[in-house]
Each structure stands twice: as structure tokens, then as C-alpha cells.
Amino acid sequence: MASPMRIRAAAKDGVTEVRVLMSHVMETGQRKDSSGAVIPAHFITELTAKHNDKVVLSAEFGPSVSTNPYLAFKFNGGAKGDKVAVTWVDNKGETRTDEVQVA
Amino acid sequence: MRKQLKAIAVSVGVALAAPVFAQEELNFDAYREMLADGNPAELYEMEGEELWRTARGPRNATLEQCDLGLGAGVVAGAAAQLPRFFKDTGKVQDLESRLMHCMETLQGIPSEEIVKGKFRQGERAKMAALVAYVVTHSKGEKIAVDLSHPKMKEMYELGERAFYYRTGAMDFSCASCHSQDDKRIRATQLPNITKPEGAAAGWGSWPAYRVSNSQFWTMQHRLWDCFRQQRTAEPIFASDVTIALSVFMAGKGNGAEAQWPGVKR
Amino acid sequence: MKKLFIAAPLALCASVAIADDLQAKVEDMMLKSFQANGIASLDRQKQDAVQKACSSATQPDADTMKRLEAAELATIQWPSDGNYTGGDWKEGQKIAASGRGLTWTDKTPDNNGGGCYNCHAMDPKEVSEGTIGPSLEGYAKLRGNSEEVVKYTWGKLWNSKAYNACSDMPRNGYGGILTEAQIRHVMAYLFDPASPVNQ
């Protein structure tokens, strides 16, 4: 099962800054283990961030992104107590959604 | 709009991918700045916090009664005063050996399992998460190790001797790499641990998340790998030499601010 | 006066006893805190004369250094054919760049790197280079290739402690880190006019 993300969201002067730390191996599919066998690709392909129910960020990820990716972005609007939810989907179809309240 | 946001996300992602150095020079400061925000050690800290509160082991107990030196269950500031002498065990213990003691006495998890285990596996991996949780609650605290107890004094002296002790296939001691200012092995900067600033830089920035291998390393793990590269035999987990060197580094670094958990190349 | 005369030697004895006690404890700890793993046996925890003499913040006195250096010098094996050349700088480059070997995760005690770049600058184009040892950029261009220089370099590579008992540099030949053939390749990397070190 996928591990939780750590999300922080803070509103200031009408702009909300969101910082997301994801727990994911982000295996490229190009690496080999010590016995020479290829380690199968396993990486996040899509990420969506919602403010309450409105999508504010949609991103495509790929194998060039590091293990345990960190993403920071800002969107206009948002107030203390609003919900910010982040969802990722990976190439194996696994998915994880976590949600925080804007501080 | 959608396209623009995507571009931002991609640039953030690339910035955090495999370390890329400018070919002309090694710009450590810019690299560190890029890493400073979003230390993935937080993921381990989250896991550790959960583990602290989860009833586990043969006794199905939590670690909430674990005494790290400031009283049962006190986590805030606990890492900053470790290693210390503990009356109940009659020993000087660092964070890891103390957690191991708590896991055994409270939860019934045999210390043997951790001592004989491997880093990043089994109970030792769980301990690393607990370490991340505990040290994060001393972030920004001043290192305050009490050296007044005779056993602490002795450990400090043993640690200092061990620091200079040359042995192994390549004649190295800790001092071979860590007794001069501004030196490097390849592109890795080395703290001068014979000085308070250097000792604090080393002691106060491990445990750390290592971006180059996406691993969280505790101080026991760091010391273990130092000895591996020193070409000695393998140090035993939480053995005297690891505690002595920890007391030496922490004691010398006393008073400086800890940056736990660190983030490293 | 009489009292003082007695007290002084006693105090001296006591401090010496404490120091020896601590030394014994350290030696015991450096053995008991370790375990053998693969090729890294517990023998590695026992110090030889040089290691023991150079295990503090201060070097031994000049006479001790000289005595140790003379003993180390006697261990150097000079080229079996009397010829210091014949190595391939390209092979030497690989040896200089590799920091591998002799850890408990290495399967065999053979095929080690020299780890030169860990501590030395060599090829001026290489940026990932250590600074613990002196820069060796332009080695032969700056020092020439007189017999004296060539012989010293071979000796230094074989057993660095022959020239400075407390050198930080490993004893490559004496310690079985590098073979004679490998040392010859490193010599070529340092001396060959075509080597990147001399560009």
C-alpha cells in the first residue's frame, strides 16, 4: 500500500502555497540490481491537486523525477480552513490521495 | 493556464532529480539551498511518530513510556541531550541504543534482533523511523550533552582516542579525513571534527536523508559506513566504539544548534 | 622538602598508570566493538608499529619517525626488472579513479582501485577531486623524470610511510592494495607525457 504524503498549505495575501512531499520509489526501469536484472519501472505518472473540489494543478510526472518527489506550487485564492487534496497515480495503477486544511 | 502550471511542476521535478553539478565548479551552497525545502526525512518522521504510538511487539505496548533522558514519554528536546548516562541501565546510551532498550523493556522486542539485523531492514528500519521522529523534535535545539558523569567523561576520552586510532587495511583513522579545515574527498566536503564547529556540523546534521541514494541514515549507520570506507572490520551496532565516538562528537559540539534531520548529497 | 620529594614521583606514577589504563581500554574497545565480515577480518583491528605510533593528534619525536621510516623503506619492492616504465597511463587512470576495494562488501581482496582521486588532484580537467593530499596536476611536467624523482614516486606509491611515517596515504604495495603491475600503470599516469595529468 502506498505511504501517506506530507502536505502543507498556507494562505497569504490571497495566494495559497502548497508543498507536497510524496513517498514513492520512482524507479526508472533503466536500473539494474546487483545480479544484473532490470528493476521494473515504477513511477508516478499523473498528479492532481484540488482546492475544495476545483482542480488547481494537473501535472504529468515521469521517470526522471527523483525518489520521494517534492513539489511546491501556488494558486490564487484559498482561505484558512479550505481543503487541499493531492492525488497521484503511478504506472502500476496504484494511487494515493491525501488532504489537508489550509493554514 | 494548465500548460503553464505543468511547466512549473516539471521544472520543480527536474530540480530534484539526480544531482547535477556545474562542470566548472562545485557549487555546494546553491545545491544545498535547492535541497533545504522538502527534506524527505519528513516521510520517515511521520512513520516514526506513528510507530511511537502504536502498540507493538510481544507485549503489545507503545513507546509512549520510553524515557529518553527527560522523563517518560518526553520527546521534545530529548535528542539534544543524548548520549547520556542512564541510571537504570548503568550505561552511557545514544538515541539508538536507548530506543533499543525501550523496545526491549516496553515492547519485548529483543535487542539482539536489532544488533544482529541490517540497516534499512526489519526492526532496525523501524528504529530509523523512530530516530527521525525523535530528532525532528530537537530541530534547532542547542546540543547540550552533560559530560559531568565519570562514565561520560571516560566515554569522551575513549572516543577521542578512537578518533585518532589508525588501523585496518589502509591505515586510516577518523582523523585521516576529519582533522583539517576545508578538505574534500572527491566532491564531498569533510567537517574538521577536532574543532567545535566541525564536530557540531557533523553531529548536528546527522541523522540525514541522502539524496544521492534516497536513503535516511541514522548516526549509527553513518559511523558504520565511515568504518567500512576506513577498511576496518565491521563495527557492531551500538557497540562501545560507536557510543564513545558519539559522545566525543556531541561533547565537542556542545552549545551549537542541531539541524536535525539533515539533508545530504 | 622531604614530603615534596616523595610526593612528586608518586603523582607522576599515578598519571602514567591512568594513561596506560585508558590506552588498554581503547585497544580492547577497538577489538571488541568490531566483528569480522567477509574479507574484513578482526586482524584489521590490531595495530602495527606505524599505526600505533601515529594514533594521536601529535606525531612522535623525530628520532622515532626516522626509525619507523627506515623500517618501512626496507619493505619497498623495487621493480623486479629494474624498469619503472612500461605501464599504460589509460590503465593508470582507471586505477587512480577507482576508490573501490578492501571493504567488507568487497568479495575479493584483489582488483582494488588506488583511490588516488579521493585525495589528490591529477587530471586538470577532472573537477571531482579530493584535497587531503597535494595536487599532482602536471606531475612529471613540473618535477621532470630524473631517476631520483621516478624512484621516489615508486617508493611513495609502494609504501608512503617510508618517507613520512605518519602520512595519511595508504601503503599500496606493502599493504597489498595494489599489485606491482597496477603501480606501474599509475606511474605511467603520472609520468607519461601523453597522460592527461601532464597536459
Q: Which of B70, B226, B241, B256 is catalytic?
A: B226
pLDDT tens per residue across all 199 residues of chain C: 444 444 444 555 555 566 679 999 999 999 999 999 999 999 999 999 999 999 999 999 999 999 999 999 999 999 988 889 899 999 999 999 999 999 999 999 999 999 999 999 999 999 999 999 999 999 999 999 999 999 999 999 999 999 999 999 999 999 999 999 999 999 999 999 999 999 9
Sign of CA dihedral B104, B106, B109, B114: negative
User: Was B102 annotated as part of a binding site?
Assistant: yes
Between helix B122-136 and helix B95-102 the angle, nearest 10°, is 120
Among A56, A47, A52, A54, residue whose Cα is nearest residue A20: A47
CATH number, position A79: 2.60.40.10
Residue B228 belongs to what H/E stretch? helix B219-230
Q: Whole domain around residue A70: which residue ranges?
A: 6-101
Q: Which residues partner with B158 through β-bridges?
A: none
Low-confidence ranges of chain B (pLDDT < 50): 1-24
Q: Which residues partner with C196 through β-bridges?
A: none
Size of interface A-B (CB pairs under 8 A): 65
| DSSP assignment of B155-190 | HHHHHHHHHH---STT---HHHHHSSTTEEETTEEE
Look up residue A50 and give its three cell numbers. 484540488
Q: How far apart (Å, rounded) are the C-alpha atoms in residues A49 and B240?
A: 50
The CA–CA distances, whole Å, from B263 to B21, B118, C93 equal: 17, 22, 32
* DSSP letter assigned to residue B81: G
Catalytic residue flag (residue B226): yes
User: Was B101 annotated as part of a binding site?
Assistant: no
- The nearest CA of chain B is from the CA of A67 a distance in Å of 6
Same fold, B41-136 and B150-264: yes
pLDDT in the model for residue B37: 76
- Residue A1 covered by a domain: no
Chains contacting C (3+ CB pairs below 8 angstroms): B
* Residue A13, phi then psi, degrees to nearest 5: 50, 45
pLDDT in the model for residue B151: 98
Which residue, among B20, B161, B212, B213, would best test binding to C if mutated, counting the most C CBs under 10 Å from its CB? B161
Is B30 exposed, middle or buried, given 0-12, 13-18 or 19+ CB atoms closer than 10 A? exposed
The CA–CA distances, whole Å, from C7 to C11, C14, C17, C18, C19 equal: 6, 11, 15, 17, 19
Contacts of C164 (CB under 8 A, 6+ apart): C65, C69
Q: Contacts of residue B190 in chain C, CB cutoff 8 Å?
A: 132
pLDDT in the model for residue A27: 96
Query: What are the structural domain ranges in chain C?
Result: 2-55, 89-198
The CA–CA distances, whole Å, from B253 to B53, B85, B218, B246, B256 equal: 31, 18, 18, 10, 6
Q: Which residue is it, cell 617508493?
A: C155
CATH class of domain segment(s) C89-198: mainly alpha
Residue A79, pLDDT above cutoff 70: yes
pTM: 0.88
Q: How far apart (Å, rounded) are the C-alpha atoms in residues B45 and B51?
A: 10
For chain A, the domain total comes to: 1
pLDDT in the model for residue B19: 42
Contacts of B118 (CB under 8 A, 6+ apart): B124
CA angle, corner B21, sides to A42 and A66, nearest 5?
15
Residue B229 belongs to what H/E stretch? helix B219-230
| Among B6, B16, B214, beta carbon nearest to A59 | B6
Q: Contacts of residue C22 in chain B, CB cutoff 8 Å?
A: 157-158, 161
| Among C29, C40, C41, beta carbon nearest to B162 | C29
* Residue C86, phi then psi, degrees to nearest 5: 100, -5
ipTM: 0.90
- The fold of B41-136 is Cytochrome Bc1 Complex; Chain D, domain 2 (1.10.760)
For residue C58, the one-letter residue type is T
Q: How far apart (Å, rounded) are the C-alpha atoms in residues A13 and C173?
A: 68
pLDDT in the model for residue B90: 98
Query: What are the structural domain ranges in chain B?
Result: 2-36, 41-136, 150-264
The CATH classification number of B150-264 equals: 1.10.760.10
Q: Give the sheet arrangement for strand B215-217, strand by strand.
A: B215-217, B208-210, B262-264
| Contact yes or no for B240 and C29 at CB 8 A | yes
Q: Contacts of residue B166 in chain C, CB cutoff 8 Å?
A: 47, 50-52, 54-55
Q: Give the sheet arrangement for strand A83-90, strand by strand.
A: A54-60, A44-51, A83-90, A95-101
Q: How far apart (Å, rounded) are the C-alpha atoms in residues C168 and B208?
A: 28
